[in-house]
């Protein structure tokens, strides 16, 4: 059989721990036998990030700007424990945070729905997609530990030499902590546009929620920009498409989501989207069944799994034990990226291959062969609990 050809390479960002193991298996057994895979490879594994002083992450993001489509493996965001474990020079920032800050954009996360894996919430009939703003807020913060009494202020110094603006954050009479965060009107507007476009392209309603009652300037600005963009650019198109946009308080949104049937897009600020997408993916069945794509306003796409590096499984793997780690979201990161590359380059065969691999993956689960995370919750009778190798081999056999 001749392999499917690619023209433009994908940006390939390798990662850490168990997902790094999955990465290689997916390439070797599910992609390379069928596709003449072309990638520009960046090793975002923690040792290489440390060796390059995180330059490799920036290089990978720059390559994404050049080539347009990237696929990323889960990576460790270092904390104090990782400093010791990997003898790091520095507590490097989250690679996802760095990449998102460079590409801007919105992250769309949607659960992969399969027969036999029923959502915990009984009313949910359709997937719920989270549109997560991927720029700013606490992910690009400036933090201070306050050692003792003193004043913390916000100071704005206009670049054109105008009057300084100051606001007191807190007069500290004891030790504490302080944080400065920001966002940009242009980034919020492109978040709104990306979300509205996605709603139109998928024919789903869209909700946006923030905490404007408490954050009367910051969150309120998000609410206003969404309203302005909607009124000026999308109102008529939404009416025509028979879909709806509405704003509500984040607390109200959470309550409504649980009572809903699903089948809509929930636009979230950066932190809300981070947390709520984990809640949704677990509630839809498994963290390992959630896809994630960063869509930048400049037309760049970065595909990844929503879950982390599955550290607990990796330590078992290192100890020589079999693991039953679910590779589905990582497979869908690859198929998402390959299909987008195919679409942009006019390679129908590459798009068709991606859809076939997705179908083979879903069919394998629906036939009753699945990893442990799914086997424990499935409503299918007599599921076969496969280890990681067996599950990938079952998909390969189907391919």
Chain positions 285 to 324 lying near Mg ion, rule: CB under 5 A, are: none
Residue 234 in 3-state DSSP? helix
**With CB under 5 A as the contact rule, which of the stretches 14-22, 200-208, 273-281, 348-356 interacts with Mg ion?**
273-281
- Residue among 100, 223, 269, 307 that touches ligand NAP (CB under 6 A): 307
Rounded alpha-carbon distances, angstroms, from residue 30 to 10, 134, 236, 356: 16, 30, 44, 11
Tokens 């636009």: give the residue.
267
Question: Does position 12 bind Mg ion by CB under 5 A?
Answer: no
Question: Does position 387 bind Mg ion by CB under 5 A?
Answer: no
Binding mask 130-159 for ligand NAP (x = CB under 6 A): ------------------------------
Helices of type H across the chain:
17-26, 46-51, 55-67, 80-85, 95-103, 185-202, 218-229, 235-241, 250-259, 270-283, 311-318, 328-345, 348-366, 372-375, 388-398
- Residue among 43, 274, 304, 373 that touches Mg ion (CB under 5 A): 274
State the minimum distance, in angstroms, from the CB of residue 308 to Mg ion. 8
**Beta carbon nearer to ligand NAP, 196 or 314:** 314
The pair of three-digit structure tokens given for residue 353, joined into one six-digit string: 């291959």
The pair of three-digit structure tokens given for residue 298, joined into one six-digit string: 């400049």
Question: From the list Mg ion, ligand NAP, none, which binds 274 (C-beta under 5 to 8 Å, kind-based)?
Answer: Mg ion
**With CB under 6 A as the contact rule, which of the stretches 73-81, 97-105, 151-159, 259-267 interacts with ligand NAP?**
73-81
Chain positions 333 to 372 lying near ligand NAP, rule: CB under 6 A, are: none
Count of CB atoms situated within 10 Å of the CB of 242: 8
- Report d(CA 130, CA 239) in Å as an integer: 22
Question: Does position 288 bind ligand NAP by CB under 6 A?
Answer: yes
Tokens 């003792």: give the residue.
148
State the minimum distance, in angstroms, from the CB of residue 206 to ligand NAP. 24
- Rounded to the nearest 10 degrees, the angle between the axes of helix 328-345 and helix 17-26 is 50
- Residue among 325, 335, 361, 378 that touches ligand NAP (CB under 6 A): 325
Note the Cα 328 to chain centre separation in Å. Answer: 15
Question: Does position 287 bind ligand NAP by CB under 6 A?
Answer: yes
Please give the DSSP secondary-structure letter assigned to residue 231.
I
Question: Does position 281 bind ligand NAP by CB under 6 A?
Answer: no
**Beta carbon nearer to ligand NAP, 12 or 373:** 373
- Report d(CA 253, CA 208) in Å as an integer: 8
Burial class (CB in 10 A: 0-12, 13-18, 19+), 48: middle
**Beta carbon nearer to Mg ion, 63 or 310:** 310
Question: From the list Mg ion, ligand NAP, none, which binds 365 (C-beta under 5 to 8 Å, kind-based)?
Answer: none
Count of chain residues binding Mg ion (CB under 5 A): 2
Which is it for strands 150-156 and 301-305: parallel, antiparallel or unpaired? unpaired
| Cα separation of the two ends of the chain | 13
State the minimum distance, in angstroms, from the CB of residue 91 to ligand NAP. 12
Question: Does position 74 bind ligand NAP by CB under 6 A?
Answer: yes
Count of chain residues binding ligand NAP (CB under 6 A): 17
**Beta carbon nearer to Mg ion, 287 or 339:** 287
**Beta carbon nearer to Mg ion, 109 or 341:** 109
Asked if 181 and 143 touch (Cβ cutoff 8 Å), the reply is no
Q: Which residues bind Mg ion (CB under 5 A)?
A: 274, 278
Q: Which residues bind ligand NAP (CB under 6 A)?
A: 74-77, 96, 287-288, 304, 307-312, 325-326, 373
């Amino acid at each position: 059989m001749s392999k499917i050809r690619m023209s433009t390479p994908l940006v390939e960002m390798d990662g850490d721990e168990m997902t790094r193991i999955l990465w290689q298996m997916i390439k070797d057994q599910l992609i390379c036998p069928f596709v003449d895979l072309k990638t520009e490879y960046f090793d975002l594994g923690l040792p290489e990030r440390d060796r390059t002083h995180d330059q490799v992450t920036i290089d990978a993001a720059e390559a994404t700007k050049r080539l347009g489509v990237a696929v990323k493996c889960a990576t460790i965001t270092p904390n104090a424990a990782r400093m010791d474990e990997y003898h790091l020079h520095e507590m490097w920032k989250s690679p996802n945070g760095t990449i998102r800050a460079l590409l801007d954009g919105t992250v769309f996360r949607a659960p992969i729905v399969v027969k036999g894996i029923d959502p915990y919430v009984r009313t949910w009939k359709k997937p719920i997609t989270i549109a997560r703003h991927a720029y700013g807020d606490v992910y690009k913060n400036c933090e201070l530990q306050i050692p003792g009494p003193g004043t913390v202020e916000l100071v704005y110094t206009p670049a054109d030499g105008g009057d300084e603006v100051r606001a007191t954050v807190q007069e500290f009479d004891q030790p504490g902590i302080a944080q400065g965060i920001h966002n940009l009107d242009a980034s919020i507007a492109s978040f709104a546009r990306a979300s509205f476009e996605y709603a139109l392209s998928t024919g789903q309603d869209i909700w946006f929620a923030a905490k404007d009652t408490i954050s009367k300037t910051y969150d309120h600005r998000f609410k206003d920009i969404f309203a302005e963009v909607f009124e000026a650019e999308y109102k008529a198109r939404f009416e025509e498409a028979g879909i709806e946009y509405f704003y509500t308080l984040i607390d109200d949104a959470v309550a409504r989501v649980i009572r809903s049937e699903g089948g809509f897009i929930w636009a979230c600020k950066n932190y809300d989207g981070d947390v709520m997408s984990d809640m949704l993916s677990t509630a839809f069945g498994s963290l390992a069944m959630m896809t994630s794509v960063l869509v930048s306003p400049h037309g760049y796409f970065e595909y990844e799994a929503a879950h982390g590096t599955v550290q607990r499984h990796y330590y078992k793997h290192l100890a020589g034990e079999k693991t039953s780690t679910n590779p589905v979201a990582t497979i869908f990161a690859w198929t998402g990226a390959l299909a987008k590359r195919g679409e942009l380059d006019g390679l129908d065969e590459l798009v068709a291959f991606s859809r076939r691999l997705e179908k083979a993956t879903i069919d394998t689960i629906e036939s009753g062969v699945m990893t442990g995370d799914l086997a424990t919750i499935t409503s299918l009778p007599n599921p076969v609990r496969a280890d990681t190798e067996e599950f990938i081999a079952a998909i390969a056999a189907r391919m």
